[in-house]
Chain A
Amino acid sequence: AQSVTQLDSHVSVSEGTPVLLRCNYSSSYSPSLFWYVQHPNKGLQLLLKYTSAATLVKGINGFEAEFKKSETSFHLTKPSAHMSDAAEYFCVVILSNFGNEKLTFGTGTRLTIIP
């Protein structure tokens, strides 16, 4: 079985300060992990993905995430928040040998940027 837990339902940071969105996963086998972003009234867009290559993954818009097997975590970070980062973020896990109907979505973290 696989599952994913986003530890914070809401995160607020000031513009220009670092962003940390936390995600822990549970998987019996080697997982693939993703972060998607959803801006207001828009569909989900892929930010980045980890598929057993480099453990530090760089994505779009300055975001990156580090796969830590020992901690079963895949936290999303950005050094300096921008107003345009305000959105909802979803962590997603799938066992590597499964088809994409087996994607498991976290419950989401809403990121608010304070001017």
Chain B
Amino acid sequence: DVKVTQSSRYLVKRTGEKVFLECVQDMDHENMFWYRQDPGLGLRLIYFSYDVKMKEKGDIPEGYSVSREKKERFSLILESASTNQTSMYLCASGRTGGSGANVLTFGAGSRLTVL
């Protein structure tokens, strides 16, 4: 019954490495999101996408990029990982309208440690 799948639960990378976090949803949702979760800060939006090949910056896009080549897949890329990007990353998807509007379905998260 898994609906939003994040490819890696735990990753350990070194400073300067390129990091890919992948997310797949099977609900045919138009919208997909990447959040970062840190203790005491709640969830902060990094990037989101309304459609294939579309991307929009969220509140904290610096140091990140994204790719959405297919409707079901949304990737987060750290071009050159830094220690301050050590965090829990959450992917989510949602519909644009209808009764499910503004309700997000989340993946289990990817905990990234940058050494």
Q: Looking across the interface, which residue of chain B has its beta carbon closest to that of A42?
A: B108
The count of chain B contact residues (Cβ–Cβ below 8 Å) is: 25
Q: Is the CB of A108 within 8 A of B42?
A: yes
Q: Is the CB of A43 within 8 A of B42?
A: no
Please measure, in the bound complex, the distance between the C-alpha atom of A107 and the C-alpha atom of B48, giving whole angstroms.
20
Partner of B104, one of A9, A32, A44, A51: A44
Interchain Cβ contacts within 8 Å, total number: 60
Please measure, in the bound complex, the distance between the C-alpha atom of A94 and the C-alpha atom of B104, giving whole angstroms.
12
- Stretch of A14-22, A60-68, A69-77, A95-103 contacting B (4+ beta carbons < 8 Å): A95-103
Interface size range on A against B: 20 to 34
Check: A2 CB closer than 8 A to any chain B CB.
Answer: no
* Given A43-B107, A101-B58, A32 contacting B42 (CB threshold 8 A): no
What residues of chain B have their CB less than 8 Å away from a CB belonging to chain A?
A: 4, 31, 33, 40-45, 48, 50, 56, 58, 90, 92, 94, 96, 101-104, 106-109
